[in-house]
Structure 1
Amino acid sequence: MTDTPFVPAPRASSPVAPDASCVLLKHGEVFLKGRNRHRFVDRLHDNLRIALRGIGGSTWIKIAQNVTVLGGQVPQEALVERARRVIGFNSVEPAVRVPSTLEEITQAAVRALRDVSTERPGRGFAVRVRRRDKQFPLTSSRMAGHVGARVLEAVPDLHVDLTRPDIVLAIEIDRKETYLSWTRRPGLSGLPVGASGRALVLLSGGYDSPVSAHRAMRRGLACDFVHFSGAPYTNPASVYKAYALARELNRYQPPGRLHVIALGKAQKQLAVAGAGRLQVVAQRRLMVRTSSALAARTGAQALVTGDSLGQVASQTLANLVAVDEAADLPILRPLIGWEKQEIIDEARSIGTADVSVLPDEDCCQLLAPPRASTRAELPHLRAVEKRLDLDEVTEALLGNVQVMLPGEDGEAAPPPTPACPTPEPA
């Protein structure tokens, strides 16, 4: 795939074509940062450029005061769709840009609202002006009144409504260019991905862990993923789901790698060692122990799980404490206080629910006892683990890890192992 060429924005002195389309991206928490704000903005723009790859035309990015302006030789809706994937923007607004003269701004406003009135006649409108260039001859309030009066004269189907307008025409006046927008689409807000470091997400095939990963990304964490399958005792359906989920999540960040680890034989070893009702918690401890070792190799500084307190037997407070004790890194749980329906609703909004609902063979159910312990005690867990050489088990698991790079191009490296064969074409 060929990256979209990055073309610098026109110089301020360059003429602006009438009603040249662009997209205004309003900054989120980056706005609150102090002296190191430029580092967050640079990261935000790097992520934006990555999101624009393969869009099919040249693009440019311009920095204004707490706003990023995006444009190029690409349909505006395509720019909006890509920009809405980038974490760190509060809103994404399709706009037009015109020279900063009273006449050009007024004419552009009339044209814009005339087009809107054709689609939605009888609506109320308001004009909001932000004058960044204090040398502009009219104040913000006088400019809003002037534009509103001209619109009323030219578009009789509209009426002024300053309290609850159906249409808000936003005008932002810079020294050389002015931006007009009347549609506001919500962004993902949060911190730019990568601004807070790197994490390794324990990715299952359910609803919880993908939502947890997305929440971690919104706090600025770049995420890699690790999926534990029950191979060779289960089919590869869970691996296909993990790949699809990681691919969907990578739409929101510079693509992270997916590590697939076949846990089945180690699970059987725990069962033979007499784990009994502790089997599920012992498996979780082995997962975080292995993930900690993997994180040390990939540069991750924390683990992320989809645990929600009390949701299932393995997620009681006592069991979470027992799992934490086996980790060498902090375990972050963004969903710790969420209810299941909240998680499902969030999964639908980020696009992972349709994958999570597909059937698979979850490795956590492999060799699971009829009744799992809700209060696993560390001495009992350690007694089971002493019957194994955990260092040897962990090294064996990491020695056969399969690494993929799920992305929109569908590439993976290296090819799947025989335990997780590539699905045949439908």
Structure 2
Amino acid sequence: MSDDPRIPAPRASSDAAPVPHGPCVLLKHGEVFLKGRNRHRFTERLQDNLRVALRGVGGSTWIKTAHNVTVLGGQVPVEALVERARRVVGFNSVEPAVRVPSAFDDITASAIDALRAVSGERRGLRFAVRVRRWDKQFPLTSSRMEVLLGSRVLDAVPALTVDLTTPDVTLNVVIDRRETYLSCERLPGLSGLPVGTSGRALVLLSGGYDSPVAAHRAMRRGLACDFVHFNGAPYTNPSSVYKAYALARELNRYQPPGTLHVVALGKAQKQLAVAGAGRLQVVAQRRLMVRTASALAGRIGAQALVTGDSLGQVASQTLANLVAVDEAATLPVLRPLIGREKQEIIDEARSIGTADISVLPDEDCCSLLAPPRVSTGARLPHLRSVEKRIDLEEVVEALLDSAQVLRPGEDEEVPVADDGCPAPA
């Protein structure tokens, strides 16, 4: 106990269980904080998603909530907890921390240890202390606590210097009724709404940069995502399916895992070509994709489609062609990247971990039977005329009945069928 008369004696506590010292992680809530009466629902989903992200982490964990912050700890290295928590959509920041009893001497000792560890052999490292009291009954004000902690740290680690304006390191201290959290590092989280709070969507997942980034952005707006990939089988090799599987597995790191549906589109593409699609071939294929995806969404309970379209990026993504494609859908078509430039999309793909997969070579079904020049202003009467020459209902039903359903998991290998394609789960 401190003999400094400025320091009050520890408060008596009715709680019998002592507060354990040890590392933990503070997870600051993002938009959940802004929710009103439904906040508890968003918080519950956020923590459910966190539990899913912690599966297989290699030890027991615990989670508690206090003042719009989730505290995470357990018998697991804090680095592993941080890595898993940073995948969960809905946390603004992730802070490795240490938990100690809310007694001045315990807080002081931990503050000295933390800043001594950060400073190492460096001299002149500038530091600041920031204190926040969740427990307003704590006998020292936040500003007074900052002064006392700072002076104790300087006495114990004279190599440090105080800089309250531009410190090299900031020690954040959060004081609650029984326990206090100290941290020197604040990492950015994914922010956004917890996955699943906005409903379920079906992502048209190709092997390129765009659609995985669109899926990730949809997740950050609270959409739980399943995936559908159209390949050119039997006229193309399975390379695009392997890429789609790898992309879905990477994206599933950010959400409770969604399923991947693989649809072999090659024969239907040939039917459109034989029906005389000509320069409309690519747009007609896209209409068939969204028509099929809409029917699949109805089967799995998805409420919207998500695509990676960016306005004007390629010929099939002119405004006229996008309008023509939307007319074939029976659900809203969401385009999170509609105003993004290609380099912005590539940079974001690198940040979420999908770029190295997207760059791999494959046989894209969109280029199969594509004409030398694609129509940039497809007209609906012409497209409907082509589509009348084939039985669309029968085609869509056949595509869905032959679709493969895969469940990409973080640590599993791709199951392979006898034909060399990923096998249905």
TM-score range, shorter chain: over 0.9
TM-score by length of 1: 0.94
5 Å-filtered alignment, 1:38-187, equals: 38-118=40-120, 120-187=122-189
SS at match of 2:229: strand
Are the counterparts in 1 of residues 33 and 39 from structure 2 also a CA contact under 8 Å?
yes
- In structure 2, relative to structure 1, the CA distance for the partners of 1:45 and 1:111 (3 Å cut) is same
> How far apart are residue 121 of structure 1 and its match?
3.5
- In structure 2, relative to structure 1, the CA distance for the partners of 1:374 and 1:119 (3 Å cut) is farther
| Residue equivalent to 1:362 | 364
- In structure 2, relative to structure 1, the CA distance for the partners of 1:206 and 1:417 (3 Å cut) is farther
| Residue equivalent to 1:280 | 282
| Residue equivalent to 1:337 | 339
Are the counterparts in 2 of residues 232 and 419 from structure 1 also a CA contact under 8 Å?
no
- In structure 2, relative to structure 1, the CA distance for the partners of 1:243 and 1:119 (3 Å cut) is farther
- For 2:349 and 2:15, the matched residues in 1 are separated by 43
Are the counterparts in 1 of residues 193 and 220 from structure 2 also a CA contact under 8 Å?
yes
> How far apart are residue 123 of structure 1 and its match?
1.4
Q: Please tell me whether residue 420 in structure 1 is matched to residue 408 in structure 2.
A: no
- For 1:147 and 1:310, the matched residues in 2 are separated by 58
Q: 2:306 aligns with which of 291, 304, 317?
A: 304
Alignment RMSD: 1.3
Q: Please tell me whether residue 346 in structure 1 is matched to residue 351 in structure 2.
A: no
Q: 2:20 aligns with which of 5, 17, 22?
A: 17
Paired residue type of 2:297: A
Are the counterparts in 2 of residues 193 and 220 from structure 1 also a CA contact under 8 Å?
yes
For residues 223-242 of structure 1, the C-alpha deviation after alignment (integer angstroms, 9 at most, x for no partner) is: 00000000000000000000
- For 2:124 and 2:212, the matched residues in 1 are separated by 44
- For 1:326 and 1:116, the matched residues in 2 are separated by 59
| Residue equivalent to 1:289 | 291
Structure 1 residues not aligned, in runs of 5+: 1-10
Q: Please tell me whether residue 270 in structure 1 is matched to residue 264 in structure 2.
A: no
- In structure 2, relative to structure 1, the CA distance for the partners of 1:419 and 1:412 (3 Å cut) is closer
SS at match of 2:214: helix
- In structure 2, relative to structure 1, the CA distance for the partners of 1:282 and 1:116 (3 Å cut) is same
> How far apart are residue 14 of structure 1 and its match?
2.4
Are the counterparts in 2 of residues 13 and 176 from structure 1 also a CA contact under 8 Å?
no
5 Å-filtered alignment, 1:175-324, equals: 175-324=177-326
Are the counterparts in 2 of residues 96 and 179 from structure 1 also a CA contact under 8 Å?
yes
Are the counterparts in 2 of residues 190 and 218 from structure 1 also a CA contact under 8 Å?
yes
Are the counterparts in 2 of residues 132 and 172 from structure 1 also a CA contact under 8 Å?
yes
Paired residue type of 2:147: G
Give the % identical residues.
Answer: 80
For residues 288-343 of structure 1, the C-alpha deviation after alignment (integer angstroms, 9 at most, x for no partner) is: 00000000001000000000000000000000000000000000000000000000
| Residue equivalent to 2:8 | none
- For 1:280 and 1:419, the matched residues in 2 are separated by 27
**How many aligned residue pairs are there?**
410
Are the counterparts in 2 of residues 229 and 261 from structure 1 also a CA contact under 8 Å?
yes
Structure 2 residues not aligned, in runs of 5+: 1-13
> How far apart are residue 12 of structure 1 and its match?
6.4
Are the counterparts in 2 of residues 202 and 303 from structure 1 also a CA contact under 8 Å?
yes
For residues 361-410 of structure 1, the C-alpha deviation after alignment (integer angstroms, 9 at most, x for no partner) is: 00000000000000000000000000010000000100100000001131
| Residue equivalent to 2:327 | 325
SS at match of 1:216: helix
- For 1:73 and 1:119, the matched residues in 2 are separated by 30
Q: Say which is worse superposed, 117-126 or 325-334, in terms of deviation.
A: 117-126
SS at match of 1:21: strand
- For 1:270 and 1:77, the matched residues in 2 are separated by 53
- In structure 2, relative to structure 1, the CA distance for the partners of 1:71 and 1:340 (3 Å cut) is same
Paired residue type of 2:257: P
TM-score by length of 2: 0.95
Paired residue type of 1:420: C
Paired residue type of 1:16: V
- For 1:23 and 1:329, the matched residues in 2 are separated by 40
- In structure 2, relative to structure 1, the CA distance for the partners of 1:252 and 1:121 (3 Å cut) is farther
Are the counterparts in 1 of residues 242 and 422 from structure 2 also a CA contact under 8 Å?
no
